[in-house]
Structure 1
């Protein structure tokens, strides 16, 4: 009788577990993407495509490069791809911020596609072909963190995402535990010196996290805005940070109309690193941009040698590549 009872209990437990497993399988994975759309998958994606650089480099950093079956156009111009995931250069080029090749994507046969919200009109076309589509809009630090969590959940890389957030917290706790100085007024320029970063911009948050004050955002300005020289002179920032790939610090120093700026007088004009990928835009390495910015503003608190060391360690941990300070632009 005892044996029969034990057998019945075992059968009931097995059926119960099977029922739970079936329920989980039916329920699948559901996320709300950054376009406000509910997206459901039966299970974590095994094959993914990306029409968006920010999604692609994040997937690589979370250890999902082998999942990619197609990426955005001009992948060959991304040094981080060449260094950390060179096979991406041979994958189908699916689109850019303005358009997307639906037919080519279908041939790549992904389970899910990541697109910027600017390409939302392609979502319906892709889903008609049975390809789930996730829209991303990481314009701020909070939105990028949400994008990382979405990508991680869809790709089954949640543990890797947790490792990244824990790493970033420890990095900031280690190096940024000091009081901010209100004199650290920073002007952040885009590719052109007179393209200013205001509030609600990722670059503004990098400056804020480094305990700097965005001089242009103080005036209540939002987004990227074109300004004139007179406005820049009136801001008179103590530091000028330039987006990588645009105007250089040498060009700023040589401009006769800017000689009265504090940043020019004191030689405090800098171009964001790195040679692998820019550190002032939404990607996993932007935490290094915050650390670099802090070293510019507070050299007595954060040394550039420490930034270099942390950057080398970062790329080994998250991209599994060995880099030198010279390769990173130090």
Structure 2
């Protein structure tokens, strides 16, 4: 059997996922999903790995050793809980999260998938500095934290005696390492490997679909609202990966700082054809359309400003739903490919396999933010 995933005939939310391994993933063509029936047979094998001791080398190069299964996980990293749940087929190990994750859980569909996620304790905020007292009270077997954000976010945890896995951010390869680490933590390495294999197949399929459309790459800009205006991202950000797959180019890629401030003057100078608005704030396309300072901006004139979807997690950063983001961006940049990209069908199949959940048509509308994006060019192509 090939290495991707299939749609289950009778999804039963979480129970269908327990024990899924690499054999449950099979890609056919440009994103079509084929059948397989090895879930139950692999349940014992994938769960057994967590019973013995094991060692993980994190992305700092540090070795973290565990004597037995990991049952309680706290994480300050914002997208990691949805990824752990997707690998594990359950939310039950997660005891602590970031404040931003909690907000997303309450606002989006993840809180419906896993209601307990809407009341999980928070161990850090936007600055990722951990609340050690709260973390101690949760008694986690491991804490997941950024390994490249400075000593102030990781030293307090290690000094308190926690086993800490440090992760780094920016590329698809780094995200795939996260999945491997999470698969090891919960004893489901085959499941994690299957997700990575599916992502590789999806990237190849989407690139093939958009290749005939990309003689000239579309100029795009990613904007996040800040206290004094906007920020964007340079070539070090994951945004460049999903932009490149879909046939676009980030107009801010060569900026010296990772998240540069953006003035009105700079926006007009870049004059992007498409603007993607971050899922981490409340700014909507209507806000840019109504801003008289931006009336001459090409993306505003063409009404090609779009709010990034919110699925099991926000689609801006790397997560297990990233292949859906790639398809969404590809359809934004190349609307006539809508039928061939089949995003709505992909969302249904992906939610089944990542979370064991049968998502409704109305919920797909919510994920895609049809209300917020409905006034933007080409968005009727995302309707059922």
Match of 2:56 among 31, 34, 37: 31
Q: Residue by residue, what CA displacement relative to the aligned partner does 1:157-202 show, whole Å, maximum 9, x if unpaired?
A: 2112112112222333333313233241111111357312211001
Compare relative contact order (CA 8 Å, sep 6+) and give the higher one, 1 or 2. 2
Question: Contact 2:218–2:249 (CA<8 Å) still a contact in 1?
Answer: yes
Per the alignment, residue 192 of structure 2 pairs with 161
Unaligned stretches of 5+ in structure 2? 1-48, 371-384
For residues 28 and 155 of structure 1, the distance between their equivalents in structure 2, rounded to whole angstroms, comes to 12
Q: Residue by residue, what CA displacement relative to the aligned partner does 1:111-156 show, whole Å, maximum 9, x if unpaired?
A: 22212334211232242xxx42112222332222222222222222
Q: Aligned ranges for residues 90-109 of structure 1 at < 5 Å?
A: 90-96=119-125, 97-109=127-139
Normalising to structure 1: TM-score of the pair?
0.81
Unaligned stretches of 5+ in structure 1? 1-23
Indicate yes or no: 2:228 matched with 1:203: no
Q: Aligned ranges for residues 279-294 of structure 1 at < 5 Å?
A: 279-294=315-330
Higher helix share: 1
Cα pair distance change 1:34/1:326, threshold 3 Å: same
SS in 2 for 1:200: coil
Cα pair distance change 1:51/1:227, threshold 3 Å: closer
Instruction: Give the paired residue count.
Output: 302
**CA RMSD of the aligned region, Å?**
2.7
Q: Aligned ranges for residues 16-165 of structure 1 at < 5 Å?
A: 28-63=53-88, 64-73=90-99, 76-77=102-103, 78=105, 79-96=108-125, 97-117=127-147, 118=149, 119-127=153-161, 131-165=162-196
For residues 283 and 308 of structure 1, the distance between their equivalents in structure 2, rounded to whole angstroms, comes to 18
Cα pair distance change 1:251/1:65, threshold 3 Å: same
Cα pair distance change 1:310/1:58, threshold 3 Å: same
**1:59 to partner: Cα distance:** 0.8
**1:305 to partner: Cα distance:** 7.5
Normalising to structure 2: TM-score of the pair?
0.71
Question: Contact 1:279–1:285 (CA<8 Å) still a contact in 2?
Answer: yes
Mark the structure with the bigger radius of gyration: 1
For residues 75 and 233 of structure 1, the distance between their equivalents in structure 2, rounded to whole angstroms, comes to 33
Per the alignment, residue 189 of structure 1 pairs with 223
**1:232 to partner: Cα distance:** 1.6
Q: Residue by residue, what CA displacement relative to the aligned partner does 1:28-53 show, whole Å, maximum 9, x if unpaired?
A: 42222223322122344233222333
**1:284 to partner: Cα distance:** 1.2
Cα pair distance change 1:301/1:48, threshold 3 Å: same
Per the alignment, residue 7 of structure 1 pairs with none
Deviates more, 1:171-180 or 1:287-296: 171-180
